[in-house]
Structure formats: C-alpha cells, structure tokens
A and B are shown apart, each in its own frame.
Chain A
C-alpha cells in the first residue's frame, strides 16, 4: 500500500513567522514530489515541485527533499494570512504519473 502521511493540523503560526509543513511517504520508488495549496471549497493549486534531493526555493516557498529518509517538507517564510489553507503533499510512484496525496495539513496564519 503506497502511502503519503501528513500531520492534519491545524498548524497555527503568527503572521511573519516561518511555517513548516512535513510529509513522509512509504514507497522508495517515488520519483516526483509536489505541494499543492487548497483553499476551502476550491481546487488544489500547484505551488512547488521537487525531483532531486536538497532544497528548491521559489519566492517565499522552499521545498526540501530527503529520499533516504523518505521525507519532503515545505517551508513558507514571512507567512501571511492569505497563506491560510490546506497544504497537500503528493507523490508520483511508477510510470503512469498518477498522484498519491496525503490528507493535507491545515495551516492558519494569525494576523
């Protein structure tokens, strides 16, 4: 059973702080890793993807991947109230490309 695990939260951080979101996955064959943001009642919106070990930065977002530990994380610097949403970690296993999602972590940024 291929699984992606996330802490469901809610994770509450003050405005301007760093929010750290974590995800583990069970299948060592996992190849590609994605973070989606989902506002309530809306569809998932792609915010980051990472394929190789290490860090990848895009604006206020940094994705970190450690394949040996089967761990992927998302850091959000200078958190804003508009960042309040559910963050979904997703992994591709195999050749077809379908995503396996975690249940999501709900982030609340308090003004």
Chain B
C-alpha cells in the first residue's frame, strides 16, 4: 500500500487479556519502529527493527511487551496480561534505509484496557 497500515484501529480488552497489534510498513522500507503515545504526550519509543532483526528494544516498558518482524515486512506488537496503564495509542512508523531518514506513521491502534 501507499502508507503504513495498522490494525485494528481500536481495541478494547479486559485487564489480563493478551492483545496483538499489527503493522504493515511502506513497501520496501527497511526500518520499522513502534511508539506508544499517551493522551497529551508525544510518542515514546518502544522498539526498532531493521529488516527482521530487532536492534533495539530498550523502550519496551516490561517483559509483557513483545514485538516481532519475522520476514522483515509485517510486524506484530504483543502485550501479554494487559494492565490498565497499557491503555494508549500504539503507533508504528517506517523509514527507508539509513538511520536519519524521515519516519512515516500509520494511523495507530487505540488500545483501551478495562
């Protein structure tokens, strides 16, 4: 597709459930990033992939968060045993080769934990 595609757009889950969020980056983009955005705040970095390799996961808030990109294209962010503080918008961004290239964001997944 022309842009970064994320699904679902909205996800409501009960506390303790597992969720999976999907990101389909711009075709040919090597780098893929996940960010978390709380209300009224700027996005905060979670993790980074270059192709299928996860090169940085320093922003993941706990070991309940897990991300993968097995074939170097689509990525999934999984959150296990969700907590209320996990409620946020999860944004995926991709960029072409090179660490300083502009990143283009998907529409995000708004996650609400009840």
From A31, A98, A100, A102, name the one whose CB has the most chain B CB atoms within 10 angstroms.
A98
Complex contacts, A43 vs chain B, CB 8 Å: 91, 105-108
**Contact of A101 (CB < 8 Å), options: B43, B56, B102, B108:** B43
Residues of A within 8 A of B (CB): 4, 31-32, 34, 36, 42-46, 49, 51, 88, 90, 92, 94-104
Are B43 and A96 interface neighbours, CB within 8 A? no
Q: Which A-chain residue is minimally distant from B59 (CB atoms)?
A: A98
Interface CB pairs A-B, < 8 A, 8 = A42-B107, A44-B105, A51-B100, A95-B99, A96-B99, A97-B95, A99-B45, A103-B41
The minimal Cβ–Cβ distance linking B89 to chain A, given in whole angstroms, is: 8
Residues of B within 8 A of A (CB): 31, 33, 35, 40-45, 48, 55-56, 59, 91, 93, 95, 98-108
4 tightest Cβ-Cβ pairs between the two chains A and B: A101-B42, A97-B99, A32-B100, A98-B45
Given A44-B43, A90-B42, answer yes or no on A99-B33 (Cβ-Cβ < 8 Å): yes
Q: How many angstroms between the C-alpha atoms of A72 and B52 in the bound complex?
A: 34
Complex contacts, A46 vs chain B, CB 8 Å: 102-105
The minimal Cβ–Cβ distance linking A45 to chain B, given in whole angstroms, is: 7
Complex contacts, A102 vs chain B, CB 8 Å: 42
Are A99 and B43 interface neighbours, CB within 8 A? yes
Are B44 and A101 interface neighbours, CB within 8 A? yes
Complex contacts, B105 vs chain A, CB 8 Å: 36, 43-46
Complex contacts, A34 vs chain B, CB 8 Å: 102-103
Are B102 and A49 interface neighbours, CB within 8 A? yes
Q: How many angstroms between the C-alpha atoms of A99 and B35 in the bound complex?
A: 9
Q: How many angstroms between the C-alpha atoms of A86 and B39 in the bound complex?
A: 12
The minimal Cβ–Cβ distance linking A3 to chain B, given in whole angstroms, is: 11
The minimal Cβ–Cβ distance linking B46 to chain A, given in whole angstroms, is: 9
